Amino acid sequence: MQLPEFRRALEQALPTQIVESVLMKAYAFQEEKNNARKERAQYGTVRLERNADTMWENIVSNLLVSLQGKKDADILKQLEEPDFIDTITDMLEEVEFNTES
């Protein structure tokens, strides 16, 4: 399964507030990093949003890799299973983005 197709299916299967929460955390992380830059080197809002979206896409990609070897139909079927979605939701609720020291 290709990443864009999996991302759409996952985002439809997950509660909307979970996806928005992770994106908001990613944006806040990007904003914090941006504020640490010199003023002339700071990014605009569009770039921060794009970077936050890339962080979400990396999470989605890692989930897809964990399902590697399964047929597309089996992956889509798994996205319909409440227990699987609950597990992913719980995991995403705990996602934190931190800078490495």
Whole-model pTM over 0.85 = yes
| pLDDT-based confidence at residue 100 (cuts at 50, 70, 90) | low
The number of C-alpha atoms within 13 Å of 100 and in the hemisphere containing its C-beta is 0
101 domain residue, yes or no? no
| 21 part of a folded domain | yes
Q: How confident is the model at residue 55 (pLDDT cuts 50, 70, 90)?
A: very high
Cβ(22)–Cβ(56) below 8 Å: yes
- The upper half-sphere exposure of residue 89, i.e. CA atoms within 13 Å in the direction of its Cβ, equals 15
In a domain, 37, yes or no: yes
One-letter amino acid for residue 17 of the chain = Q
Phi, psi of 69 (to 5 degrees): 95, -15
Residue numbers of the domain that contains 14: 3-93
Count of structural domains within the chain: 1
User: 101 pLDDT exceeds 60?
Assistant: no
Quick check: is 43 in a domain? yes
pLDDT confidence band for 99 (50 / 70 / 90): confident
60: in domain: yes
